[in-house]
Amino acid sequence: MSRRRRFKGRDVHGIILLDKPSGITSNDALQQVKRIYNAAKAGHTGALDPLATGMLPICFGEATKFSQFLLDADKRYRVTARLGVRTDTSDSEGSVVSVRPVSVTESQLSLALDKFRGDILQVPSMFSALKHQGRPLYEYAREGIEIEREARPISIYSLELLEFTDDAVSLEVHCSKGTYIRSLVDDLGELLGCGAHVIQLRRTQVAKYPNDKMLSLEKLNEILDECREQGIPPREKLDYYLLPMDSAVSNLPEVNMSSILAAYVTQGQAVMVPHALTEGFVRMTVGPEAEFIGVGEIDEDGKVAPRRLVRIGGDMPDADDQAE
């Protein structure tokens, strides 16, 4: 029996902002984009539900080393909720668990929304990817097993009412990492006394990435087909849309160093850089061209210690375990 040949792909480094369509999982979307780019390595930065659409940053190659910073970043969403019906998944794909009359005024809704602004505690849905004993919660939920979940601290920086009709509410949410919009809607419905579930959900922003830079799967496939018809390598057009890998850490303060110091850093050694910060993560660049070489952290001695290093065509250490 012959072994299936492993897909290898090409070395491509950067970030694409995918406008994920509804009806597919984030991993399905990732695999499609990975194949379009013929990329050897790729990963997404925070799953969207199959129902949801919108911004799904996909990191290629060395950019995957910085995906955690996007996972930890703030997010913005637009969500439409149906009032009067509660489901077990808190969205329209779940089974109805209760139907109640809706008698909510805009004044009552505004007061209820106030309860969710700022720093709050949220209990994650059983239909989430959070893990319990190595298994995602949704697997237990599908087996009818309820797992006790602790409330987790989250921040709702803004919660704006966009539209309100007799049985539907549209909101814009700016929130911290770890926020479950389905749980937010379910909690709102219970506070209003009528129940609610998500019928539309779109992520409009991750970190500070502009939403006009998003590309759909249809657009990417269209570019791929054009390249094949014209007989040119797809990378010549596709790679134009890649954002630089350091865009994932653009919010970090920059520490610029000489090429001499950078040589030590790329060997995993911490270095003292004049005028550097006294704590936290930093974006490390080299020379007047400010070439990005990775992310460092100020250690207890005030030195810049490498944590995630870019390795393209060279032999650099991969991560923390190389730094002393």
Q: For position 101, which CATH number holds?
A: 3.30.2350.10
Question: Do 86 and 161 belong together in one domain?
Answer: yes
Q: Quickly state the pLDDT bin for 293 (edges 50, 70, 90).
A: very high
Question: Do 265 and 231 belong together in one domain?
Answer: no
Question: Do 31 and 63 belong together in one domain?
Answer: yes
Question: Do 116 and 85 belong together in one domain?
Answer: yes
313 pLDDT higher than 90: no
Examine residue 246 and state whether it is found in any structural domain, yes or no: no
Q: How far apart are CA 42 and CA 14, in angstroms?
A: 10
**Which residues belong to the active site?**
49
Q: Quickly state the pLDDT bin for 150 (edges 50, 70, 90).
A: confident
If one counts every other C-beta atom within 10 angstroms of the C-beta of residue 168, the result is 16
Mean pLDDT of 94-120: 96
Matching residue, tokens 């697997």: 139
Examine residue 224 and state whether it is found in any structural domain, yes or no: yes
CB of 203 within 8 A of CB of 172?
no
Main-chain dihedrals φ then ψ at residue 25, nearest 5 degrees: -75, 165
| Residue 239 CA to its chain's centroid (Å) | 21
Main-chain dihedrals φ then ψ at residue 108, nearest 5 degrees: -65, -40
Examine residue 303 and state whether it is found in any structural domain, yes or no: yes
Chain segment 111-129, per-residue pLDDT in tens: 999 999 999 999 988 877 7
Question: Do 92 and 191 belong together in one domain?
Answer: yes
Both tokens assigned to 75: 């997010």
Question: Do 285 and 309 belong together in one domain?
Answer: yes
| Residues 6+ away with beta carbon under 8 Å from 212 | none
Question: Do 201 and 215 belong together in one domain?
Answer: no
| Domain hosting residue 27, numbered range | 14-72+209-241
Q: Quickly state the pLDDT bin for 314 (edges 50, 70, 90).
A: very low
Examine residue 89 and state whether it is found in any structural domain, yes or no: yes
User: What proportions of the chain, in percent to the nearest 5, are helix, strand and coil?
Assistant: 25, 35, 40
Cα dihedral 244, 247, 249, 252 sign = positive
Both tokens assigned to 197: 């579930």
Question: Do 184 and 271 belong together in one domain?
Answer: no
Examine residue 258 and state whether it is found in any structural domain, yes or no: yes
Examine residue 35 and state whether it is found in any structural domain, yes or no: yes
Question: Do 101 and 202 belong together in one domain?
Answer: yes
Question: Do 159 and 148 belong together in one domain?
Answer: yes
CATH of the domain at 306: 2.30.130.10
Question: Do 89 and 66 belong together in one domain?
Answer: no
Mean pLDDT of 251-270: 95
Question: Do 302 and 220 belong together in one domain?
Answer: no
Mean pLDDT of 246-252: 95
Examine residue 8 and state whether it is found in any structural domain, yes or no: no
How many structural domains is the chain composed of?
A: 3
Q: How far apart are CA 233 and CA 125, in angstroms?
A: 45
pTM: 0.89
Mean pLDDT of 59-86: 96
Examine residue 43 and state whether it is found in any structural domain, yes or no: yes
Q: What integer pLDDT is reported at residue 3 of this predicted model?
A: 59
CB of 27 within 8 A of CB of 44?
yes
Among 6-15, 91-100, 123-132, 162-171, the minimum mean pLDDT is found in 123-132
Chain segment 182-232, per-residue pLDDT in tens: 999 999 999 999 999 999 999 999 999 999 999 999 999 999 999 999 999
